[in-house]
Amino acid sequence: MKMGEGKGNKILVIDDEAVIREGIRQTMCLEGYEVEVAPNGKIGLEKLQKSSFQVVVSDLKMPGMHGIEVLKAIRVLQPDVPVIIITGYATVDSAVEAMKNGAFDYLTKPFLPEQIAEKINSAARQRELELSSLPGEEDNLEDHACDAFVGRSKQMQKVYQRILQVAPTNSTVLITGESGTGKELAARAIHNNSHRKDQPFVAVDCNSLPENLLESELFGHVKGSFTGATQTKPGLFSVANGGTLFLDEISNLSMTTQAKLLRVLQQREVTPIGGTKATSIDIRLIAATNKGLEEMVEAGTFRDDLYFRLNIIPVDLPPLRDRQGDATLLITHFMKKFSEEIGKEIKGLSAEARIALESYHFPGNVRELENIIERAVVLAQGEAIVRDDLELRSADDDIISEIGIPLNTEELKENKRIARERAVEPVEKAFVYAALERNNWNVTKAAEETGMLRPNFQAMLKKLGVSVKNHNTG
């Protein structure tokens, strides 16, 4: 019997040359293996996320993602799978680099069928020995340092597994998921389980600042580089040096800022706005988005080269509606948390309240559930939360009805967001007008008094359409 026969062994071959892929596929099928092929690193890694392999064979020089990048990603996705690197550009340095990054073996082109078969069989034998020596383990990943999450569903088990796989590496991570699924929690869990855990974790919401201010926040600026730059300020890339930088909602970056970010990631150095001297940085980058970046790449609104840089290791967070059984755990967790914080003794839910929550789809996911339970604990008159305490729909729907937005359309979720913004806007305007009037319309003083950063206060003024030009600013 040949090495692969009867064992269900599966091999992945990643090479941009069709003749090489097909040659290895035919050779190893005759050896009894099941063989899958991929023409580049991106497709190869997608296959690794969907299926387990006994051995991976990868070319070193490929367009797009380099073989060493593929190797590093494999070490995270399937840490124990042996990887054989093949190349037509063999040098001592490239061989050393491949082996240092965890390659099982190295083979130069051109090679004979029996040569590649011998190396794959050797790698497969070692993998079988390793698997046979592993003790049985119970899958209790929620007991690891992902304890910021609450949930035991199979979907969340996969998330915990991925976090614990990627955390010890320096690989860039792209976290995807709907709003409210816990993308920043996942980023912090990755950081807290990494060797950078004692260094800074810096989170940036790319949707909170206009483009010019965001670039200043990220890259820093030198004194006098633009109006208002009264002193030199280090950017958050520098602040996060040695640690982790988390860029939330990265899909909101302009094409100009995307280009600058790509340059920083490629060169691992940052130049402040108005500066001429670049400073080296050592950061682990984690990005997050609730939008489909692949669709944005196709539409020309997101750079494909930046997308490939970010999407080395994807972590996809499931919506709450797909996490079977987790909502019940989260409800109990949040009731206990807010009861203690607010100082109330809430012992549970009424039958009507529980039925209402179980039938609700939570478009805002865990964040929405948390807000619902906090509000219910505040409003509860007795020891149990009742249906009316939840206010699941009435607040949003009343606002929507008042401004004439229909409820029976596919745009309901977006309409609710618009409704909330319209309802909150008068309150925000009253807040900023009062602060400005108390400080003689001096933006800097008003920002300081309210505890806001001046750029954030200015961004709020711009959003609300509030101008200080016609007032004395002192």
Tell me the per-residue pLDDT of 135-192, one tens digit each, with 9 for 90 and over: 444 344 444 456 678 888 889 989 998 999 999 999 999 999 999 999 999 999 999 9
- Say yes or no to pLDDT of 217 above 60: yes
Give the max Cα distance, the chain: 90
What residue segments make up the domains of the chain, in order of their start? 10-132, 143-316, 320-392, 419-464
pLDDT for 188 equals: 93
Quote the radius of gyration of the chain (alpha carbons, Å): 27
Question: Which tokens sit at 110?
Answer: 């051109």
At 207, the pLDDT band (50, 70, 90 cuts) reads confident
Amino acid identity at 153: S
- Say yes or no to pLDDT of 1 above 50: no
Rounded Cα–Cα distance for residues 376 and 384 (Å): 10
Q: What is the CATH number of domain 10-132?
A: 3.40.50.2300
At 460, the pLDDT band (50, 70, 90 cuts) reads confident
110, exposed or middle or buried, with CB in 10 Å at 0-12, 13-18, 19+? exposed
Question: Which tokens sit at 409?
Answer: 């359309």
Tell me the per-residue pLDDT of 27-63, one tens digit each, with 9 for 90 and over: 899 888 999 999 999 999 989 888 889 999 999 888 8
pLDDT for 4 equals: 55
How many beta carbons lie within 10 A of that of residue 379, not counting itself?
13
pLDDT for 185 equals: 93
Q: What is the mean pLDDT of residues 335-354?
A: 87
- Report, at the CATH architecture level, how domain 419-464 is classified: Orthogonal Bundle (1.10)
State the chain's mean pLDDT as an integer.
Answer: 82
Tell me the per-residue pLDDT of 65-110, one tens digit each, with 9 for 90 and over: 888 889 888 887 887 889 999 887 656 567 677 777 788 888 887 7
Rounded to the nearest angstrom, the gap between the alpha carbon of residue 46 and the centroid of all alpha carbons in its chain is 17
CATH classification for the domain delimited by 143-316, as one of 3.30.43.10, 3.40.50.2030, 3.90.10.10, 3.40.50.300: 3.40.50.300
pLDDT for 145 equals: 54
Residue 394 to residues 303, 389, 400, 468: CA-CA distances in angstroms? 41, 11, 10, 37
pLDDT for 412 equals: 54
pLDDT for 407 equals: 44
How many beta carbons lie within 10 A of that of residue 180, not counting itself?
20
- Say yes or no to pLDDT of 206 above 80: yes
- Report, at the CATH architecture level, how domain 320-392 is classified: Orthogonal Bundle (1.10)
Domains 320-392 and 419-464 in one fold: no
Write down the residue that tokens 């990643």 correspond to: 14
pLDDT for 406 equals: 44
pLDDT for 176 equals: 96
